[in-house]
Amino acid sequence: MYEHKEPNEQNLNSGAFSASSESEQPRTAEYVFSHGRMREKKPAPRKGVRFLYAILACLLCSVIAFGAGFGGAFLALQLDEEDPVYDPPADNDLHHPNPDEIIEEETDPDPSVYGSAGEEAFAISGVARLVQDSVVVIDATIEGSSLMGIPVTATSSGSGVIIAEEGYIVTCNHVVADATSIIVTLNSGTKYEAVVAGYDERSDLAVIRIDPKEKLTAAKHGTSAHLVVGEQVVAVGNPLGTLGGTVTDGIISSTAREIVMADGKEMTLLQTNAAINQGNSGGGLFNLDGHLIGIVNAKYAAEGVEGLAFAIPSDYALEIEKDLIQYGYVRGIPDAGLETIDITIENYHKYYPYFQVTELGVYVVNSTFCKDLINKDRILEINGVTIISSSQIEEIVSECRVGDTITVLASRDGDTFSVSFLLQEYVPD
């Protein structure tokens, strides 16, 4: 779902879910956000009631016909006042030069044996009252076309957390990725059109911004490093895409669970048994101090499995949020500028009409930073490591720094050659 390059099919099919010291069967976690909106089917009115409705409709039509100009304008005004959607901020007003000035962080991060909230903690009802206005509902619209060229509109719903009074909201990248329209609904019911200020596919985090017309309540970031197993936490979000502001509670089941997402992405996440459902993605996980200690993003979903939900730790999220607010992307990520494709036994016939290669392997589709590599070049080695999948390239590059030199051994038309070039900083389009 969120691939810089063609994923390794073996990785996609074999996702692992591993404990640090336990042996268990491989599992994969799934992103949690709601596709579409649920609509309740109302029962049809009885025959007598339908007749009454018809009479009332006729009377209403007569009234509207009598005062169409005034009545129509008044009706439109009422609808606008009832459910307005405020305009988004201008493109030149998306970023802030100093995120430290606007993001509130915990000021007394001393660790405690009792966990991140310390010995004096609120009751769950107190936490809910403290943080409910900082969690929002997000409705995203994605427009595309079917294989037949027919326009198609898809909708999804998720959650977000206000992290600055100026209108910055953190959510999961998969909630707003490729969205053509984003509507944010505050806990007060006020609606805003939002714009993506920045996103990061690797961490599955995004920051969106609205232009607030009212005072916003921002969440205070806690210190996720001070969480302890068994510590009580509260999740607030928008399960099923229709139940905004829902509060659930649970405990921290693991402070650093290594998992593989269904799309092959490896992540280190907080694990909790708080009830999490589709639509909770991007919502907040709070400690009993009311501090944000995680961004909900995934769950393990299978028949007979309950209480396996995951969140991005706040310490990790905070640094990414600051970069997204200031620059629109995460700085310092190395990029080889290579777009590659894996030609395997399984997909060979699918790609042959376009690629027409005779050997299996990893092939260059496009090379941005090294013009010596061209389309259909086969990558054999990088820094002396034999390459059999695109995921290996990503792993090698991720262990380097911006400005490092990598050496690529490649083949073209039966001839083998070597090229070296500098890694650049990854900047999303």
Which domains are assigned to the chain?
9-35+226-313 (2.40.10.10), 91-209 (2.40.10.10), 334-425 (2.30.42.10)
Cβ contacts of residue 47 below 8 Å, gap of 6+? Answer: none
Report DSSP state, residue 401.
-
Q: What is the mean pLDDT of residues 161-187?
A: 96
| The predicted structure's pLDDT at residue 168 | 98
What is the distance between the alpha carbons of residues 357 and 351, in angstroms, rounded to a whole number?
9
Is residue 200 predicted with pLDDT exceeding 90?
Answer: yes
Token pair, residue 96, equals: 């802030």
Q: Which of 45-59, 240-254, 274-288, 369-383 shows the lowest mean pLDDT across its residues?
A: 45-59
Q: What is the mean pLDDT of residues 262-273?
A: 89
| The predicted structure's pLDDT at residue 66 | 33
Distance in angstroms between the alpha carbons of the first and the last residue of the chain: 17
Q: Each residue of 138-156: pLDDT tens digit?
A: 999 998 877 788 888 999 8
| The predicted structure's pLDDT at residue 82 | 59
Burial readout 208-243 (b: 16 or more C-beta within 10 A, e: otherwise): bbbbbeeebbbbbbbbbebbeeebbbbbbbbbebeb
What is the distance between the alpha carbons of residues 284 and 277, in angstroms, rounded to a whole number?
13
Q: Is the CB of residue 194 less than 8 Å from the CB of residue 86?
A: no
| The predicted structure's pLDDT at residue 246 | 96
pLDDT-based confidence at 406, cuts 50/70/90? very high
Report DSSP state, residue 327.
T
Q: Is the CB of residue 214 less than 8 Å from the CB of residue 72?
A: no
Q: Is the CB of residue 250 less than 8 Å from the CB of residue 136?
A: no
Largest distance between two CA atoms of the chain: 85
Pick the residue with more confidence: 98 or 70? Answer: 98
Is residue 163 predicted with pLDDT exceeding 50?
Answer: yes
| The predicted structure's pLDDT at residue 303 | 76
| The predicted structure's pLDDT at residue 23 | 34
What is the distance between the alpha carbons of residues 294 and 131, in angstroms, rounded to a whole number?
13
Q: Each residue of 14-59: pLDDT tens digit?
A: 333 222 333 344 456 776 644 433 333 334 344 444 444 444 444 3
* Residues paired with residue 367 on neighbouring β-strands, in sequence order: 338
Pick the residue with more confidence: 148 or 311? Answer: 311
pLDDT-based confidence at 109, cuts 50/70/90? low
Tell me the catalytic residues. Answer: 174, 204, 281
pTM exceeds 0.85, yes or no: no
* Residues paired with residue 218 on neighbouring β-strands, in sequence order: none
